[in-house]
């Protein structure tokens, strides 16, 4: 699970010493050796078909950021949400769409999305293949808030 | 150019307000719309054939990390160097190798490399196609030091 901090605490403090050595995580079919693929959040929340893998930053590293891979199954979507922390997303697999405020953008391999602070956003997979992307965030970050359509 | 800080200053301070809005950077043939591809460092240093593109973090965003794409031409290599800050690397294009201390690992698409603090490291492309990878680092970081073979 992620550890979220209150939005008053954004900004990393003194760097902790890394507790792990250098390593190579091998990927095969968009799964990484030794990295568990977990369902994202609780099923009751407003998302569907999202799998999360933690690639770096949450396993003893001391980076000021976390690198995760998310995969959205066909027909699935992430929560429509907002938060102060920013997202940097790089698409690795398939195609999907990202909503940024009122605009929707189709994206594919290599396309890079920056989600600015407080921007309501959602990722969707309306295709027939998995839609997978890296999502990099500050290690210390505020908790997302669900956005309700008006 | 990168801005490096002394190693005493690692750890991000209070977050600056982001000065840019959300955006999608489209990729085509491993080049991103509106992102210049620049030769990395000075030609006189101990590297060859390395191109750098800044995808997020150095253009008005306030993330505690910078997301860059590096591409090494066939026959090229990065500097053999060490530093306190960590690298998280995800291969996007082609194949190459990474030296981590005395070990050399061949890597390809999706393989993810964590370079621990002070680990001497070097990326090489001994193949015939470009070798490209994302490299994510803390926004505030120390300057690399060249490692000399003994």
pLDDT tens, residue order, chain B (150 aa): 333 333 333 344 445 678 899 999 999 999 999 999 988 765 545 668 999 999 999 999 999 999 999 999 999 999 999 999 999 999 999 999 999 999 999 999 999 999 999 999 999 999 999 999 999 999 999 999 999 876
> Residue B65: its pLDDT value, please?
98
From B71's Cα to the closest Cα of chain A, the distance in A is: 14
Question: Which of A18, A57, A109 has the CB atom closest to B116's CB atom?
Answer: A18
Which residue of A lies nearest to B105 if distances are taken between CA atoms?
A24
pLDDT in tens, A26-66: 999 999 999 999 887 655 456 689 999 999 999 999 999 99
Q: Of B2, B10, B8, which Cα lies nearest the Cα of B141?
A: B10
Q: Of B63, B77, B108, which Cα lies nearest the Cα of B90?
A: B108
**Cβ pair A114:B22 closer than 8 A:** yes
Question: Which of B17, B112, B139 has the CB atom closest to A55's CB atom?
Answer: B112
**Cβ pair A101:B22 closer than 8 A:** yes
Which residue of A lies nearest to B93 if distances are taken between CA atoms?
A110
C-alpha distance from residue A70 to each of B97, B106, B144 (Å) = 26, 25, 32
**Cβ pair B30:A138 closer than 8 A:** no
Interface test with A, best of B7, B8, B9, B12 (most A CBs within 10 A): B12
Distance CA A148, CA A96 (A): 21
Cβ atoms B149, B88 nearer than 8 A: no
| Residues written for chain A | 150
Q: State whether residue B9 is helix, strand or coil.
A: helix
**Contacts A140 to B, Cβ<8 Å:** 64
pLDDT in tens, A83-101: 999 999 999 999 999 999 9
From B76's Cα to the closest Cα of chain A, the distance in A is: 21
Single pTM value for the model = 0.88
**Cβ pair A109:B30 closer than 8 A:** no
**Contacts A7 to B, Cβ<8 Å:** none
Query: Residue B34 carries which DSSP code?
Result: T
Distance CA B108, CA B92 (A): 8
**Cβ pair A24:B65 closer than 8 A:** no
Question: Which of B22, B117, B138 has the CB atom closest to A115's CB atom?
Answer: B22
A14-42 b/e (C-beta count within 10 Å ≥ 16 → b): ebeebeeebbbbebeebbbeebeeeebbe
């Amino acid at each position: 699970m992620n550890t979220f901090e209150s939005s008053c605490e954004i900004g990393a403090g003194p760097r902790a010493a890394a507790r792990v050595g250098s390593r190579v995580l091998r990927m095969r079919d968009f799964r990484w050796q030794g990295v568990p693929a977990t369902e994202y959040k609780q099923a009751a929340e407003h998302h569907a078909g999202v799998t999360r893998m933690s690639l770096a930053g949450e396993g003893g590293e001391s980076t000021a950021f976390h690198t995760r891979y998310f995969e959205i199954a066909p027909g699935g979507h992430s929560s429509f949400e907002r938060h102060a922390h920013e997202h940097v997303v790089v698409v690795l697999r398939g195609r999907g769409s990202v909503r940024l405020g009122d605009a929707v953008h189709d994206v594919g391999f290599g396309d890079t999305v920056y989600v600015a602070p407080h921007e309501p956003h959602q990722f969707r997979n309306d295709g027939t293949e998995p839609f997978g992307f890296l999502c990099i965030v500050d290690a210390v970050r505020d908790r997302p808030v669900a956005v309700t359509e008006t």
